Structure 1
Amino acid sequence: MSKAQETVLEINLKALEHNYNYLKSKIKPNCKFLGVVKAYAYGSDSVRISQKLVDLGIDYLAVAYAEEGVTLRNAGIRVPILVLHSQIVSFDTIIERCLEPSIYSERILREFIISAEKHGQKDYPIHIKFNTGLNRLGFNESDIPKIIKILSETNAVKVLSIFSHLAASEDLNEKEFTENQIRSFNTIASQIEAALPYKPFKHLANTSGIINFPEAHLDMVRSGIGLYGFGNDDNEDSNFIPVATLKTNISQIHSLEPNESVGYNRAFTATEKIKTATLPLGHADGIGREYGNGKGVVRIHGQNAPIIGNTCMDMIMVDVTAIDCQEGDEVIVFGQDPTATKFAEGAKTISYELITGISQRVKRVFVD
């Protein structure tokens, strides 16, 4: 029987390569590819993931905030890095570390120009984001004349790209909505191209856009969740390999008699004689209380072991009555079986939330 020494998040870089190549196969050879590595590369390790993507030939990387980009620059990553949610307080850092900001409002545009001029910049690359239906960040189409006027008054910045974000590209029941977003963006792009003396490149498609809407590929595509092994669709998931596997081990096995309880608040009480295993991870590691009381299920020797009682900060208890196991045996929380998608379903959440929430105290190990 397999033994595990500690709780680890195993990162399979070969799986990352597989997912990258699968997504690349969906786009034309001249279409650029941006890898999203925000939030510790979706809970894994942003530096190692970025280094691997650079080795594979990635054209661009994207982070949410400037400090994530600084981490990559400090690790020697030199490919262009788009900061998707740039903040005024970070503009000096963005320029000093050669990061490229997403500019999504008049306030952000004016303030970044001030910073660029202060640093003596000319044609500093910026990316203008438009809102086409997600209603989160972005200029509206009606803002185009104002944008063009502001840009005409400075040579400190240059629009390297224009982009938007699809809201429901994974849901083909919302196909009409997505097609409307694509049409809206194309209308915006044509106006921008007519107004500027140069032609920015365009990007719109996320992972599900790459798969479901080839007409949205444009000059570059962006993938986050797909790189990490999830296709946002039961059929597509089979084409991907999950990059991260959360493994732990059995610390102790208990035998409970009827009416004995497990864990805090006595949330579980045995109705018959059962066997439980205590595992060394809990809500401080990213397995929240919502997974307790049977909503989360781990795998031990290929068999399901439901979480019983409340999840503790550093421990969870699982029912192993029907499983032949010993203390020290390996436990798979999520990976290929169960996947993070399947594990998250028990708590009515999604793989994104689960994998990005794995604590940094969980050791990362790499397989290539």
Structure 2
Amino acid sequence: MSQRTEQAPALEAAALLEETRHIVDPELRAAVDSLPTAMRRMVRYHFGWEDADGLPASGASGKAVRPAMVLATAGALRGAPARAVRAAAAVELVHNFTLLHDDIIDRDRTRRHRPTAWTVFGESDALLAGDALQALALRVLLEDAHPAAAPAAARLAACVVEVCEGQQVDGALERRDCEEVALDECLAMAGAKTGALLGCACAIGALYAGADRDEVAAMDAFGREAGLAFQLIDDIIGIWGDPRHTGKPVGADLAARKKSLPVVAALTSGTAEGAELAELYAGPLTEADQERAAVAIDRAGGRDWAAQHAADRMAGAIDRLSHAVPDQEAAGGLLSLVEFVTRRTY
């Protein structure tokens, strides 16, 4: 493949994501329209298709990274992406099930630049809407005539269990004292919460391409490595991100005293700044405290550690991909997507 310019991955990824939305959106809308009226209204709001009054809206419905990974993997492994559209929609439905639940668990009040579903429709109803999306995803897969549909559904169900386990561990870590949290277990938790679904998306794309067991495993590993890199960058954005880009208030993770990866790296750094951060995390953080905490994390090396570890995971993802798809040109779309999500501005 010809030498890629600095802008080429971003441009290629943007085109892939736009094409994915164009292809997958009708399948998503058809699936959501099968839901009971009240749940359909909440889900359509969550996706940005309607406003709180049920009127059509043109809000952002997400980047479509995970369905794009399904389709790009299918294509990279000599499959037909057009036959994997239902699978891509199923993965996106599961992703949004996790978002609806995460917003409730984390008490996040803003997503994609507008109020989260639970703040508009109530906690219980938003929770049930998330449950419905998970069931809907499996139904979409199991009603697909493709021979890979059943194993893909089994894999997606196993992924949901892993994601739930990661979320449970995340909550348990939040309740522990700062000195009782280790970096390795936080990495394992992030791998389950974020890496598992990206790995599953790639594995399902491989299944739909008719890939063999080793290729499916390699693509799952690729997605997991890319997912952890994504989470590391997301954690950096959660502390230092620009609300104009993130759609969330600045410092939201610090206000919630989340033990994100840069935070834990700082807490376990053995530095004076790490000790200062632990003191700040012992009680509620004012806006001034949040600013002090961000400075302490940076000076303790948490930000640099997260950025370097994201780069290392990205390198690992590319290595995994090269084993599954030796043809760099065939792998170009997947490379563009992971470079896009791990080089986001904040």
In the superposition, the TM-score normalised over structure 1's length comes to 0.25
Say which structure is richer in strand. Answer: 1
Say which structure is richer in helix. Answer: 2
Greater C-alpha radius of gyration: 1
